[in-house]
Amino acid sequence: MANKTISQARPDVCVIGLRGFPDISGGVETHCEQILARLSRISPLRFVVLGRRGYMDRTHVVNARLDVRPVAALRNKYLEALPNALAALFYAWAVLRPRALHIHAIGPALITPLAKLLGMRVIVTHHGCDYERAKWNWAGRMTLRMGEWAALRFADRVIAVSPSLARDLRRRFRRRAGRIRYVPNGADAHAETAPAEQVLQRFELAPGGFVLGVGRLVPEKRFDDLIDAFENSGAQGKLVIAGAADHGDAYARALTARASERVVFTGSLDRRTLEALYRNASLFVLPSSHEGLPIAALEAIGAGAPVVLSGIAANRDIGLDAHHYFKCGDVEALARVLAAPSALYAVDRDAVLARFDWDVIAAQTLEVYTSMLDRSGMLAAVERINAPA
């Protein structure tokens, strides 16, 4: 049972750049929750995660070596990540005094030079080239590119979540190539699930009677392509799209306006409910034009669902056979996929999970942390865990 008392010990690692967890949707949030929960159990290090107020309004104590605290943040489609990163940085520097700061995503990474100026050791995890997302104008794209440059120029270590991203960064930042480490996203072979009967009844679904898409309702997920393909395919059953928009906008409103008896939008769901949908879907489809390394696809594979993905580099990094991919934006090709028997797209689950195991990934992340922390810092952490209660 988790200790519900917040430790006052100096943290070894402070993690910023995410909305928080638990049960806050997003790839970065899932990545952090899965890895840090494991590290706080298997390592002597102590972690504090600084999330965003509005997504979480109280401190969540996972155990004696991991807690998640809300810090001030704007709730805005464009101006959210950077102000929160600044607030989190100054809270970490003034209050927590961590031995290392771990920044997630290239938007928040714009503060890396300031963190270094304040004397902090910094790790940045690059979750994908966010300047390729459809929502950004030229100013937003330039800011994100500056964040990427700041991370690669000033961070002590940079983690890339996909092999194609790691290769690209090493090519573009050759002088910093030695600091870049590939550590992927993962999937859990033993994920908890909500009772399937209750979940299926809630959305009026039949086992194996629906196609599933999972993700935020943003243009780069291309769920409009999925709906078009489904309606043109002649496929039986329903299409279920699980996810919500962080900020209501015209795209999300237009997308959800297409709901019908056969096209179901569930809104944001907790992980146990999603797991039940993965396990009962006839097919999981990810038609997106931009990803880091898609956790939703890995979770679907872990749950045993047949899988089809758009053929972008990040999706191909999962390493499925060629017939599991279709050309991004090709609605006719996707319609042909949906019309075919879903059994054609079954995946060798064990082979994929062997390469994307959260336990292994946590151990790889720990190697990055320990390379950052001096011997005295590690000894202090070991002494803290071995101290009598």
CATH topology of domain 196-354: Rossmann fold (3.40.50)
Least confident of 17-21, 22-26, 134-138: 134-138
Which residue type does 40 have? S
Which residue type does 29 have? E
Higher model confidence: residue 306 or residue 81?
306
Confirm if 105 and 15 have CB atoms less than 8 A apart: no
pLDDT digits (tens, 9 = 90+) for 44-70: 999 999 999 988 889 999 999 999 999
CATH classification code of 13-186+357-386: 3.40.50.2000
Least confident of 21-25, 236-240, 292-296: 21-25
Least confident of 228-232, 355-359, 374-378: 374-378
**Would you call 106 helix, strand, or coil by DSSP?**
coil
For the chain, what percent of residues have pLDDT higher than 90? 77
- Mean pLDDT, residues 165-171 taken together: 96
Please say whether the dihedral angle defined by the alpha carbons of residues 97, 101, 103 and 109, taken in this order, is positive or negative.
positive
- Mean pLDDT, residues 356-373 taken together: 92
Please state, rounded to an integer, the average pLDDT across all residues of the chain: 91
Give Cα 305 to chain centroid, integer Å: 19
| Burial degree of 114 (CB within 10 A; 0-12, 13-18, 19+) | middle
What residue spans define the domains of the chain?
Answer: 13-186+357-386, 196-354
User: What pLDDT does residue 279 have?
Assistant: 96
- Mean pLDDT, residues 155-183 taken together: 96
Rounded distance, CA 126 to CA 165, Å? 8
pLDDT digits (tens, 9 = 90+) for 274-315: 999 999 999 999 999 999 899 999 999 999 999 999 999 999
**β-strand pairing of 325-326 with 66-71:** unpaired
**13-186+357-386 and 196-354 in the same fold:** yes
For the full predicted model, state whether its pTM sits above 0.85: yes
Confirm if 378 and 370 have CB atoms less than 8 A apart: yes
User: What pLDDT does residue 364 have?
Assistant: 95
- Mean pLDDT, residues 219-236 taken together: 95
The residue behind tokens 């390379």 is 371
